[in-house]
Amino acid sequence: MTGTQALLAAVGAGVRTYDLGRRLTIGMPQSPNHPPFWHALPRRHGDNVRADGGSAANDIITMGTHVGTHIDAFAHVSQDGRLVDGSDAAVAGRGGRFAELGAHTIAPMVRRGVLLDVPAALGQPDGCPPGYEITPQDLSAAAQRQGTPIRPGDVVLIRSGWGRLFDHEDRTRYVGHASGVPGVGAAGATWLADAGAHAVGADTIAFECLRPGAGHSVLPAHRVLLVERGVYIIETMALEELAADAVHEFLFVLSPLAIFGATGSPVRPLAVIANG
């Protein structure tokens, strides 16, 4: 039996796939800095029926790439005019696309994934409070409690519990401008990078700790991860189901759209575990 056959056998024996992406719907919460998601059907069934009785419907979508569940390409953020590779960020985007560090350069991920359930580690069943900064100690405590140390190359998903607000009828709640939003700061980001994370994710729009009313005025974790350390960031993830099932270790799969030159891509990441 080849290695691939062993892999297929493992999958064939039964796996469960957790969907870590949010549904894309008109009006879902998103940052006002980005073009909103919109969808329409230019053609519906019955509009144009072929002689044989067949008919097709189709779509138009318009959106930013940092809406819904998405991954940030390294081109997304610069510091002091430089991207992660030291290149001049303004020059890199000339022509309206980032040829070197755009979304098309994000390699698909098939890696070990670890969920760090921070509220569980902190004993906060309702999730981290608004504006709470998740510390390296919190991350470490979560990893230890779960028995899932981070290994180099892992994808590390940080649950703050904020994801429960995604479907709140007041869509400004999840965005959290007034209340603030829990997340890591520079220290937590550094801890994640030091642990060797290939990519990190969270159940919030901005990944970061946002202070009440501060909005996106400073985004230190983005600086650390995207510019200084070369770690991808995945945002607006759905992590509640993993947490409810206490799934802390899994095969993480993410395949961004290869949008040439873009600063990010909408994605639907997966966590795969073996049954039984």
Least spacing, CB of residue 148 vs its own copies, in Å: 11
Q: Does 29 bind its own copies (CB under 8 A)?
A: no
d(CA 199, CA 265): 14
Q: Does 59 bind its own copies (CB under 8 A)?
A: yes
Least spacing, CB of residue 54 vs its own copies, in Å: 6
d(CA 199, CA 121): 21
Closest by CA to 254, choosing from 273, 232, 222, 274, is: 232
**Piece in contact with its own copies (CB under 8 A), picked from 38-46, 121-129, 160-168, 195-203:** 38-46
Least spacing, CB of residue 38 vs its own copies, in Å: 5
Q: Does 43 bind its own copies (CB under 8 A)?
A: yes
Q: Does 126 bind its own copies (CB under 8 A)?
A: no
Interaxial angle between packed helices 136-146 and 186-194, expressed in degrees from 0 to 180 and rounded to the nearest 10: 50
Q: Does 112 bind its own copies (CB under 8 A)?
A: yes
Q: Does 185 bind its own copies (CB under 8 A)?
A: no
91-100: list long-range contacts, CB under 8 Å, 24+ apart. Answer: 95/261, 96/261, 97/260, 97/261, 97/262, 98/73, 98/261, 98/262, 98/263, 99/260, 99/261, 100/75
Q: Does 27 bind its own copies (CB under 8 A)?
A: yes
Q: Which residues contact 27 (CB under 8 A, 6 or more apart)?
A: 171
Total residues interacting with its own copies, rule: CB under 8 A: 110
What is the distance of C-alpha 261 from the center of its chain?
19
Q: Does 118 bind its own copies (CB under 8 A)?
A: no
**Binding residue (CB under 8 A) for its own copies from 29, 30, 71, 75:** 75
Residue type, 179: S
Q: Does 269 bind its own copies (CB under 8 A)?
A: yes
Least spacing, CB of residue 234 vs its own copies, in Å: 13
- The helix or strand, by DSSP H or E, that contains position 5, with its residue range, turns out to be helix 3-12
**Piece in contact with its own copies (CB under 8 A), picked from 121-129, 162-170, 196-204, 260-268:** 260-268
Least spacing, CB of residue 150 vs its own copies, in Å: 14
Q: Does 74 bind its own copies (CB under 8 A)?
A: no
d(CA 17, CA 14): 10
Q: Binding mask 198-237 vs its own copies (x if CB under 8 A, - otherwise)?
A: -------------------xxxx-xx--------------
Q: Does 131 bind its own copies (CB under 8 A)?
A: no
Answer yes or no: are the C-beta atoms of 265 and 232 closer than 8 Å: no
Closest by CA to 252, choosing from 120, 150, 139, is: 150
* Furthest-apart CA atoms within the chain: distance in Å: 67
**Binding residue (CB under 8 A) for its own copies from 122, 181, 202, 262:** 262
Any idea which residue has 């991954």 for tokens? Answer: 71
**Piece in contact with its own copies (CB under 8 A), picked from 110-118, 124-132, 134-142, 193-201:** 110-118
Q: Does 183 bind its own copies (CB under 8 A)?
A: no
Answer yes or no: are the C-beta atoms of 155 and 201 closer than 8 Å: yes
Q: Does 168 bind its own copies (CB under 8 A)?
A: no
